[in-house]
Chains A and B, each alone.
Chain A
């Protein structure tokens, strides 16, 4: 049984550090070009280098997503881009378009290539084809079931990566140009306007007087619940999946740290003692603290039904704020130095958490600002305060508060 890699998204350098510190074996990032998350912070070469150095110090890896479906004009600048990534020491690139695969293989053969989920690979023969093209790893389409993964692993000896958590396209990824048609934004080059999640009216038979949505007072939408495989990681491990991927380069640090922490814990617990493994309710509870939508296992066990989609008003999910980042801790005084990320005050019930599923509840009873003055509320963004805590904390630990 092979221990799979836990792969996390990192929208910027700070997120990269958190993801890795909280237990990601690898992170994927976007460069300034050729990636699909035009709106994420993304990395210039300097940040990329720092990220790679940071990852190396943990024995972790950095992958760069260059997963656009390119048009003719996008092709200039591809060669220096891959050359630069190789120089920086990036471990792999995630590519969807064969034109980019070719350039990368030519100018930076030392870069491993992972075929992006945007290519919608759904069967073992397609996986085999891409292996024959020199692809080291295939990221499967989200439509592939657990049984099909088993089949793929039986038939082809190549690394397989699957999504375990996060938001999902409701279409086959890459096979949707709603955004192009409705907003002139090219979805496959990072311009996706998420048109699938908009509200529509549905009509029958070309007749305008059959507004089914209006009659039934429910807008027609095509919005997927978010994927979560929190209760099914052992099965993916048993099937030999090489990399377990978390979606979300646009997600917050709090989301990232929380989700990575949980999956790290599950993988480690299972690998240590698969026989006595059972799901701990705390892991599931923890996942919900970062959840933004209701959750589903999507295509893994059945064809998704209306239960796996979002209609009407969203389900109420308790929301947590990232209140502060622990910068330092003094064992003598039991004082934690905290950088404020969202306001908190005396009397608040907060939760501290850190890597390896370390967590405890705390009431804020005493707090001083940088000048040593006692304060009631930490209201300024990024201000540093010292807070009395009952248990030791350390740099990178986080403090969250229910909204």
Chain B
């Protein structure tokens, strides 16, 4: 079954994503355990979101994909316990420490394996499949051809990002605060900053800091709307939308368009090409001018 999965920052956004956009699943998370959630969604809120989604047969996946250091390991154990008790439909992980915790506690919870940049071929995901993960979340730096190959080799479903920013760098260091310290300026953590390679060019790499370190995001927003048929024809069924630093309204509207496009294509593939222009226009009309749309690495060659 095809699944559109979107991030939510709170119950209100989750509600709209379900009621307006009709998405199939929601991702959220708390900063202490998950990476780059949109909003720091505490357990009490997760509880409410989970309850809301359960009643509507929608799924909830919680971010537990931090790169863990010792100080958070104990809490992680309790956190996983709590999520398992709800239960949620899956946890998104990328640090192998999780497997030793599940082993010790004899917990069976669906694991979506997302080590970001570190899983880029079918054999690697087969390894994780054998470890017991239930979904393969693919790196964003893969071509469509590679994605298709990986999908064909695995028994578990794969998930790819079809819309929004991607993370391109994570450091444990406080790289923004350190710079403000260096220039002796006050540092306001609330401000979203971005860097450019030179002040004249058109790049726009958002950069922000939280307790997981410093994160740099891509200069373009991926938009694979037009290419959904190629994904769906190849049975790439879990499609993720990630709209960090965007309004709830933007997120809901984009998610709605993707859901409509997917359903439209599955209902009548021939109609898709007539409708795609309209759908794209709906996204373009709310797309911030600074954020170009692109296709990421889906159609790109890399050298090394």
Contact surface of A with B, Cβ cutoff 8 Å: 38, 69-72, 74-75, 96-99, 101-103, 118-126, 128-130, 132, 141, 143-144, 147-148, 151, 170-172, 174-178, 180-182, 184-186, 188-191, 196, 198, 200-206, 211-212, 214, 216, 218, 220, 222, 299, 303-306, 308-309, 311
Q: 1/0 per position for B91-134, CB-CB distance to A under 8 A?
A: 00001111111000000000000001111111110111000000
Pairwise interchain contact B172-A299, C-beta atoms closer than 8 A = yes
- Known contacts A176-B117, A185-B303, A220-B179; A198 and B68 CB within 8 A of each other: no
CA distance A147 to B69 in the complex (A): 11
Determine the distance from Cα of A174 to Cα of B123 in the docked complex, in whole angstroms.
18
Q: Are B192 and A129 in contact (CB under 8 A)?
A: no
Q: Are A175 and B181 in contact (CB under 8 A)?
A: no
Q: Which chain B residues (167-210) contact chain A, with CB distance < 8 Å?
A: 168-175, 178-179, 181-183, 185, 191-199, 207
Most buried by B among A72, A184, A214: A72
A-binding segment of B39-47, B142-150, B247-255, B262-270: B142-150
B286 at the interface (CB under 8 A from A): no
- Chain B positions within 8 Å of A212 at CB level: 183, 185, 193
User: Is residue B155 within 8 Å, beta carbon to beta carbon, of the partner chain?
Assistant: no
Closest Cβ–Cβ distance, residue B262 to chain A (whole Å): 26
In contact, B301 and A184 (Cβ under 8 angstroms): yes
> Which residues of the partner chain A approach B98 to less than 8 Å between Cβ atoms?
125
Tell me how far the C-beta of B220 lies from the nearest C-beta in chain A, rounded to whole angstroms.
9
By the criterion CB–CB under 8 Å, are B69 and A123 in contact? yes
Is the pair B300, A71 in contact by a Cβ cutoff of 8 Å? no
Is B156 an interface residue, CB under 8 A from the partner? Answer: no
Sample 11 A-B pairs with CB under 8 A, ordered by A number: A72-B149, A75-B121, A99-B122, A172-B171, A172-B172, A177-B140, A188-B118, A188-B120, A196-B169, A202-B195, A220-B195
Determine whether the beta carbon of A151 is less than 8 Å from that of B70: yes
Contact A175 B199 (CB under 8 A): no
Instruction: Please name all residues of chain B whose beta carbon is closer than 8 Å to the beta carbon of A143 when the two chains form the complex.
Output: 67, 69, 172
The answer to whether B183 and A176 touch across the interface, beta carbons within 8 angstroms, is no
Please tell me the number of chain B residues within 8 Å of chain A, measured between CB atoms.
66
Which listed residue, B142, B178, B219, B302, touches A191 by the CB 8 Å rule?
B302
| Contact with A98, one of B128, B300, B301 (Cβ below 8 angstroms) | B128
A206 near B192 (CB under 8 angstroms)? Answer: yes
Interface residues of B (CB under 8 A from A): 67-70, 73, 95-101, 116-124, 126-128, 140-142, 146, 149-150, 168-175, 178-179, 181-183, 185, 191-199, 207, 213, 216, 218-219, 288, 290, 297, 300-304
Q: How distant is the Cα of A203 from the Cα of B208 in the complex, in angstroms?
A: 12
Nearest B residue (CB) for A184: B302
Complex CA–CA separation, A132 to B70 (angstroms): 19
Q: Given the interface contacts A102-B123, A171-B170, A304-B173, does A130 sit within 8 Å of B302 by beta carbon?
A: no
Residue contact A180 to B123, C-beta cutoff 8 Å: no
Q: In the complex, which residues of chain B have a beta carbon less than 8 angstroms from the beta carbon of A74?
A: 121
Contact B191 A181 (CB under 8 A): no
The reply to whether B175 and A203 form a contact with Cβ atoms under 8 Å apart is: no
A72 to B178, Cβ gap below 8 A?
Answer: no
Picked from A69, A103, A121, A306, the residue with its CB within 8 Å of the CB of B182 is: A306
For residue A359, give the distance in angstroms from its CB to the closest CB of chain B: 37
Cα distance A387–B192 in the bound complex, in angstroms: 63
- B126: shortest Cβ distance to chain A, in Å? 8
Which residues from B are CB-within-8-Å of A96? 118
Residues of A within 8 A of B192 (CB): 205-206
Find A205's partner among B73, B174, B183, B193 (CB 8 Å cutoff).
B193
Query: Which listed residue (A69, A200, A220, A222) contacts B171, Cβ 8 A?
Result: A222
Which of B118, B121, B172, B193 touches A71 (beta carbons < 8 Å)?
Answer: B121
Apart from A170-B173, A178-B169, A181-B218, list 4 A-B contacts with CB within 8 A: A71-B120, A148-B69, A202-B194, A203-B194
Task: For the complex formed, measure the closest distance between the CB of A185 and the CB atoms of chain B, giving whole angstroms.
Answer: 6
Cβ distance B69 to chain A, nearest Cβ, rounded Å = 5
Bound Cα distance A48, B242 (Å): 47
Q: How far is the CB of A73 from the nearest CB of chain B, in Å?
A: 8
Smallest CB–CB gap between B175 and chain A, Å?
5
Alpha-carbon distance A70/B95, docked complex (angstroms): 19
Q: Report the bound CA distance from A306 to B184 in whole Å.
A: 11
Most buried by B among A98, A170, A174: A98
Docked-complex contact A189 and B96, CB < 8 angstroms: no
Q: Give the complex CA separation of A198 and B179 in angstroms.
A: 14
**Alpha-carbon distance A103/B142, docked complex (angstroms):** 22
Inter-subunit contact A126/B304 (CB<8 Å): no
Residue numbers in A under 8 Å from B117 (CB-CB): 69, 174-177, 188
- Specify which of A102, A119, A126, A180 is in contact with B302 (CB 8 Å cutoff): A180
* Chain A residues within 8 Å of B99, by CB: 129
A178 touching B67, Cβ below 8 Å: no
